[in-house]
Chain A
Amino acid sequence: MRINNLRIEHKHSRVDTTKPLNFTFDGKPYIGYQGDTLASALLANNVKVMARSFKYGRPRGIVGAWAEEPNCLVQIDVGAKTTPDLKATQVELYEGLVAGRTSGWPSLTFDLKSVGGHFSRFMPAGFYYKTFKWPAKFWPMYEHIIRQAAGYGTSPIVADSETYDHKHHHADVLVVGGGAAGLLAAQLAGRSGASVILLDDQSEMGGYLLSTPNTTIGGKSAIEWRDSVIAELKSLPNVSLFTRTTAFGLHDMNMIQAVELLQDHLPHSARQAKQRRERMHRIRATKVVLATGAFERPLVFGNNDVPGVMTVSALTTYFNRYGVACGNHALILTSNDGAYQAVVDLAAGGIKVTLADVRDNINPAWEARLEALGITIYTGFGISEVLGSTAVTGARLSKLNPNDPKEAIAQGVKPRVINQIAIECDVIASSGGLSPTVHLFCHDGGRPTWSDESLAFVVSANGRTNAGIYCVGAVTGVFGLQAGLEKTAETTQEMLSSLGKNSKNQAVNLTTDEIAPSPAQAIFHIPTDKKAFVDFQNDVAVTDIQLAVRENFKSIEHIKRYTALGFGTDQGKLSNVNGFAIAAEALGKSIPEVGTTTYRPAYTPVSFGALAGAHVRETFEPRRYSAMQSAHEKRNAEYETVGNWMRPWYFPKNGEDMHAAVNRECLAARNGVAMLDASTLGKIDIQGKDVREFLNRVYSNAWSQLAPGKCRYGLMLNEAGMVMDDGVTACITDTHFLMTTTTGGAANVLNWLEKWHQTEWPELEVYMTSVTDHWATAALVGPKSREVLAKLCSDIDLSKDAFKFMDWRDGTVAGVPARVCRISFSGELAYEINVDASYGNYVWQELLSAGAELDITPYGTETMHVLRAEKGFIIVGQETDGSVTPLDLDMAWAVGMKKPYSFLGKRSLTRSDTARSDRKQLVGLLTDDPTFVLKEGAQLINSANITPPVHMLGHVTSSYYSAFLGRSIAMGFVIDGIKRRDNDNAIFAYADGKAVAVKIVSSVFVDAEGARHNV
């Protein structure tokens, strides 16, 4: 019965007409029902024009029923939830849904582009390569116009308010597609006891069965059969089913990415804040069964883009599944038997149907059934032209192989010769056969093959069994339901036995009531002098493909790229094969000779949010914290990220800016006492009888003589001789050393050491274990540091001579076992106090309290940098950039050229270029104006002349204001700099467009003789 003009109630409809839903499209309110898609609801409301075409602004309507839809891209929702470019055919309707158009300006009824459209003859494929060239300076303006015309939906402009995540699965069998074949495969696999995952991208399983309820399987109606299989699958604990879940990528070794839509189908009121919007499943399956089905291929004919022209499968789906008649008089054009059941269903539903079949001889069984229903069939006819502009009003049929009247007369008969007929109708559907959904199969390198029997690119049933990929159903080119199911059972059994399983009690009755099909005709487009579109979304017409070939774009990849065929968001699901066939014709080649373009993920578009999953905002990447973090927060530290670590940068006090804070911190370290959290430095515990030899090989300096209780600075080179890391290493015993590394380099260094040990020197008896996280380290710095430490440490003799510079001692600090190293990165008297990190915060607090009366000052990395720069100490990664040797750094003292083993990087130091004496070398730099602080990264040049090109001598690596010296200081690299130190002719530092005179000096600005730390 009719509910309204186009909405039909019948028992198979999946739409619940007792549950009306209000929604708006392009600003107008409409009513649909629970179970509708936006497309079915709009069609039921007799909305025909839903989009305007990309290039010519032609009116466009619904062509497909699912992911193949090329035209009707919509903007769903508003504000933070607005989503561009969804296909109206895939949007599930919910109460209050707000949908907008994504094309047509100023409106759908009038699109400015359609004016240009009248000049479409001057805009063939690739026309822009040939023009917009003159005058050259106008190109930016031309481009601006091209850009304004481009694009469908609009991006959100506020951050996404919903969340996403990933979930990882491992299964014996993954079945992709919940149509007839997929359901059967999952059922058999489930019965075998294998762990099975079944995915389907729609809101309910069943696939095309939901559109053909009148066929029967094993005596049951298609729907009953589907229900019974799903019921069984749900009862099996080893089977999991996912709906609204699209497998969009198949990667090496059967890793499938699938995105599950969890909330988009719900009204806002029903969406949960704690639930994800989408979830990406990563499924690693031993066996993959692709039951991805096929999309129906439309035939290409004149004006085939008028709204109201669609595929037969879409027409059937809207009619049977959604209870929507897309018109009252349907003209159906087909090249195969697939369309006939649709004709019968529509006719039975009270729709007037006219059928044109391009074949001269059609299947007698079907002919009989249609005659019984009184349906006119035009055999040997095609559509040469669709009539109507914003909606189909009719079509012109023409005989494909016209009868010649003279012939007839010569034979003495006067048959009524019909070569042209005009038909009035309000909807047109065509079928050129099926195109298997081979996308996933091809993602990891598979290729489909052309089948003359199926007239399609297909994949063989045992797809790539060596890779564990099996294919069942329409994707294999078996289009008959019974044949497909029988082959599915067979293939699934093979798959299961290769898993060492088999499916018990297989008595599944798969007989159907199909009429045995007669052969389809290989035809892709009907001759016409009107525009005939192959790819609707990119406005690619038959003539564009012919032009591309004429211009020598003969590879199918060239044709695709030149015409944009299949480049749209539908990825050419309807258009590709027609395009290949039309190209083949133009090239005078066979379709298999032309082949296909490469299918790449994503099968259908997937949101960036789903790809990112949980890796956004605070969980984007790890932040590492030291044990003292809570104390730093209390002191309102500003942070610097170093590697993954959050390190205090400086500690601003009552509104200080960084410079004020850093000056205060520096002076405290030089004149009183200050404290740095040094916990983040990498620490590697190394033990074994060959530790010294090992260190001799991985460090450039020598380690044979270092006595227990002593520490030494070490410099580490890569094999190319370039500095890669540095740090202080302590000798605990002759067979036990504790190495420290830079904060950022820790992981690399441990990996580097392990790699050399495991691959080159397994004979060396050493073991290495990272203890970076175990030790919390407070660096107590300044002339008064001993005084503070003494308050908390009674069991170490801290006197100058008992506990010398570069010594370490074990003892207790604040009652906590501690390893204290008297080392200094500031040049001051300093102690590094290392404790079990569980005590880190406590000891830090105790030190602060103990130092309170001496105004102990915690400081961050910025002050650390200033203090070390005043001493001319380098920071790996700031003074070095992977192109710097120890000699460039004037650190020859840290290179033990006499060590017996050729340490890592040694040989490279003597390469002809590396050995040059006039390389860029590290020096100190002073400006004339003591208050002027050079820019780090300023380039050093010979004169004040900055007219390019200017020869560069090097650059400033470090530059600070030294509160202690009351002037600015800097370090940098200068060609042959070491020789040029302290000669009077200044060089210049260039930054901010200005050149400033600087003197080259020693890079040690404070206490060259080291008196300050020797107290």
Chain B
Amino acid sequence: MFVINCPHCQEAREEEEFHYEGEAFIARPAAPEAETDEAWGDYLFMKKNPKGWHWEMWSHASACRKIFVVKRNTANHTIAGSWTLSEARKAYDKEQSDAEMTKA
């Protein structure tokens, strides 16, 4: 049972105050009509579902009702941090680009 820090209420709270909202940063295609059935199906249903670090959304259901992002390890339930959606986007993009760098 987790303790999750709400970046808006700026306090660590019990899991029961929150709702899990699924994988973060699944972007809706800008022009859905231009997508193939396959691409659209991927957007609708396919999930990263990683064993390890996972960027995911939670909403602070019983308090500020804001949706925010948590980086959680699905293999051991440790939490690296939580961010507002906009902060998280930056942190996530940086992580992605860093990963690219190391690959290259």
Contacts and interface: CB of A to CB of B under 8 A. Distances in A.
- A–B interface present (Cβ within 8 A): yes
B67 A755 contact: yes
Nearest to B79: A253
A280 to B, nearest CB: 13
Interface in A370-392: none
Interface stretch (A227-235, A780-788, A907-915): A907-915
Interface in A695-720: 719-720
A670 interface: no
B94 interface: no
B13 to A, nearest CB: 10
B76 interface: yes
B14 interface: yes
Interface string A912-939: 1000000000000000000000000000
A759 interface: yes
Interface in A592-651: none
Nearest to A255: B1
B1 A252 contact: yes
Interface string B49-74: 00000000101010001110000000
A133 to B, nearest CB: 40
A445 B76 contact: yes
Contacts of A284: 3, 14
A621 B40 CA distance: 39
Given A754-B67, A908-B44, A902 B77 contact: no
A912 B66 CA distance: 37
A906 B32 contact: yes
Contact of B21 (A255, A755, A907): A755
B14 A902 contact: no
A758 interface: yes
Given A445-B76, A758-B66, A759-B67, A907 B32 contact: yes
A832 B44 CA distance: 38
A751 B59 contact: yes
A911 B66 contact: no
Nearest to B25: A759
B33 A252 contact: no
Contacts of B85: 758-759, 762
B99 interface: no
Nearest to B67: A758
A453 interface: no
Interface string B27-43: 01101110101001100
A251 interface: yes
Contacts of A881: none
Given A253-B1, A253-B3, A284-B3, A907 B65 contact: no
B90 interface: no
A25 to B, nearest CB: 41
Contacts of A759: 57, 67, 85
Contacts of A444: 77
Interface in A314-357: none
Nearest to B3: A253
A60 B55 CA distance: 56
Contacts of B29: 907
Contact of B59 (A445, A755, A911): A755
A760 interface: yes
B44 A754 contact: no
Contacts of B59: 751, 754-755
Contacts of A251: 1
Nearest to B32: A907
Given A253-B3, A255-B1, A760-B28, A902 B44 contact: no
Given A911-B37, A911-B41, A253 B2 contact: yes
A720 B77 contact: no
Contacts of B65: 754
B57 A252 contact: no
Contact of A907 (B2, B40, B57): B40
A444 B2 CA distance: 12
A902 B33 contact: yes
B18 to A, nearest CB: 12
Contacts of A762: 85
A910 B32 CA distance: 11
Interface string A961-978: 000000000000000000
A907 B41 CA distance: 10
A249 to B, nearest CB: 10
Nearest to A755: B67
Contacts of A754: 59, 65, 67
B72 to A, nearest CB: 11
Given A284-B14, A754-B67, A911 B40 contact: yes
Nearest to A747: B61
Contacts of B76: 445
A550 to B, nearest CB: 36
Interface in A416-436: none
B2 A720 contact: no
A169 to B, nearest CB: 12
A684 to B, nearest CB: 12
A284 B12 CA distance: 12
B33 A907 contact: yes
B27 to A, nearest CB: 8
Given A252-B77, A907-B32, A912-B37, A719 B1 contact: no
Contacts of A906: 32-33
A252 B75 CA distance: 12
A759 B58 CA distance: 12
B32 A902 contact: yes
B1 A907 contact: no
Contacts of B32: 902, 906-907
A7 to B, nearest CB: 47
B83 to A, nearest CB: 13
A766 to B, nearest CB: 14
A252 B31 contact: no
A243 B32 CA distance: 63
Contacts of B21: 755
A719 B35 CA distance: 14
A252 B57 CA distance: 19
A152 to B, nearest CB: 31
A903 B41 CA distance: 16
Contacts of B35: 907
B76 to A, nearest CB: 6
Interface string A749-766: 001001100111010000
19 contacts: A251-B1, A252-B1, A253-B1, A253-B2, A253-B77, A284-B14, A445-B76, A719-B44, A758-B66, A758-B67, A758-B85, A759-B57, A762-B85, A902-B33, A906-B33, A907-B40, A908-B40, A910-B33, A911-B41
Q: Which 4 A-B pairs have the closest CB atoms?
A: A907-B32, A902-B32, A255-B1, A252-B77
Given A253-B2, A751-B19, 5 more contacts: A251-B1, A444-B77, A445-B76, A751-B59, A759-B85
Interface of A: 251-253, 255, 284, 444-445, 719-720, 751, 754-755, 758-760, 762, 902, 906-908, 910-912
